[in-house]
Copies of this chain bind each other. A is one copy, B any other.
Amino acid sequence: MTGSESGDPWEMLRSLPMGQRVEISDGAGHTWTGTVVPRHEFSGERILPLKIASGYNLGLRIEPTYTVRLLEPARSRTRAAGPPTSTERAAAAGARHVALLTTGGTIASRVDYETGGVRPVKEEREILAFYPDLEAAGPVRIVPVFDRLSEDFTPRDWMTLADHVVAAFGRGAIGVVIAHGTDTLAFTAAALSFLLVDLPGPVVLVGAQRSPDRPSSDGPSNLAAAVRVAREGGFGEVVVVMHDDLSDERFAIHRGTSVRKMHSSRRDAFHSRNGPPLGHVDGHGIRFTEAPRRPASGPPRVDGPLDEKGGLLWFYPGIAPERAAAFAEGLRGLVLAGTGLGHVGTQHLDWIRAAIRQGLVVAMTTQCLDGEVDPFVYATGRELQRAGVVYLGDLLPETAYAKLLWALGHGAGAAEVQALLLADVAGEFRWRRQPGAPA
């Protein structure tokens, strides 16, 4: 490896382009090799942020005595060239490639110098600077779709994403990875599970809890695991791949309909509810806990539309019936996250009965997040069920909401929507309903 060298390292620092590989020597026998990534908010001008081989970021304080050597792009073990260009990826489109749809979110974000907060990026070049090893095991075609944080997503965006997934398979992808903000990643995963039909390969949502320009970001290892599952998974459904524990070595594969973000900041925040994850990925490969859905042979399609006239309301003691009733106004369907086995205060029976008579579809889930709802154990449940509330077994409130929008988009009348809600559309009901089964 050869390269140029500068006598004034601080001068050099200012002109180093993002993605440049460098070797730093302190003149006392220490050298550091890595790729220049965007500067961290609080790092001074003399701090050089480097992504080193392990995937971790290093903030190196450059002293006047140090030397900076520019290196050629890293040679991948499996490819002859350095970071791929758009042209290369276009050529690879016909080959066995994985499509990476970027949407923003922490996994494709960096610190914003103005606000000090984290802002999403969209540029391929910047994404590749964060993830220099992206194509270590084969070609990846990057398709920027959005550049926003996931709390800003709407159901319309879920439909757009579904279209992009189908298009990616149409261009020959063997699997699709969606880099997504973690905040609403589970909502999107559930929605895509209902929207995407006849998938010929895996659709893998992945995120990061810390942005890739920060030390110990989980982005590189999560993305590598997701790309691997998309490439080697050999199944045809929507999953989420994220850290299974605090190491960088074990990743869980969650079904899109059973997963939830259960911690605001830990890298192992995502959990499957009501049972184990679908499988795991680690150094030994991919192992499944239960059989994943087989890939379809026919072309994939989007089974839309979603109707956005659905809502989700979490019950709490003290919520006035009038407030809850007003929340439901103008909606065609409402998912309630009730207490326990699926209850709301009996003070709410009147407006629920009236709204159902006027055509509102009301579905019940539990805010416990684990276990099933069951209208037959308590008097309140019986009365709600008699009023026409549909009990949705072990569906998470978020999954039930995504399914409601899908069902509203497919069913003409309330009865039809209710029937669609109760049908097992995407393997979302994990438990067979067993009335009276001991807990």
Binding site for B on A (CB under 8 A): 112, 115-119, 149-155, 157-158, 181-184, 187-188, 209-210, 216, 261-267, 269, 308, 310-319, 323, 326-327, 330, 337-347, 366, 368-374, 376-383, 398, 401, 405, 438-439
Contacts and interface: CB of A to CB of B under 8 A. Distances in A.
A117 B379 contact: yes
Contacts of A338: 151
Given A368-B264, A379-B112, A382-B117, A339 B438 contact: no
B117 A151 contact: no
Contacts of A312: 314, 316, 319
Given A264-B368, A318-B155, A372-B265, A340 B182 contact: yes
Contact of A261 (B149, B314, B368): B368
12 contacts: A116-B382, A117-B381, A182-B340, A183-B339, A261-B368, A262-B368, A264-B341, A264-B373, A265-B371, A266-B370, A327-B327, A369-B369
Given A376-B117, A377-B117, A265 B343 contact: no
Contact of A183 (B118, B313, B343): B343
Nearest to A343: B151
Nearest to A405: B318
A376 B183 contact: no
A370 B117 contact: no
B346 A316 contact: no
A115 B382 contact: yes
B117 A264 contact: no
In terms of DSSP, what is the predominant structure of the interface of chain A? loop
A50 B253 CA distance: 47
B265 A151 contact: no
B151 A377 contact: no
Contacts of A313: 314
Highest count of chain B CB atoms <10 Å: which of A152, A317, A323? A317
Given A183-B339, A371-B265, A380 B314 contact: no
B378 A117 contact: yes
Nearest to A348: B151
Contact of A151 (B112, B209, B311, B346): B346
B269 A438 contact: no
A40 B439 CA distance: 18
A128 B327 CA distance: 44
A374 B266 CA distance: 13
A151 B344 contact: yes
A266 B323 contact: no
Contacts of A326: 326-327
Nearest to A106: B378
B117 A184 contact: no
Given A184-B317, A368-B269, A209 B311 contact: no
A267 B371 CA distance: 11
A154 B117 CA distance: 40
Contacts of A112: 379
Contacts of A344: 151
Nearest to A260: B368
B323 A311 contact: yes
Contacts of A181: 340
A369 B269 CA distance: 11
Contacts of A372: 264-265
Contacts of A374: 264-265
A317 B183 CA distance: 10
Given A318-B405, A346-B151, A262 B369 contact: yes
A318 B337 CA distance: 16
A382 to B, nearest CB: 5
Nearest to A322: B330
A5 B383 CA distance: 43
A412 B67 CA distance: 63
B265 A341 contact: yes
Contacts of A381: 117
Given A116-B376, A187-B316, A379-B118, A439 B343 contact: no
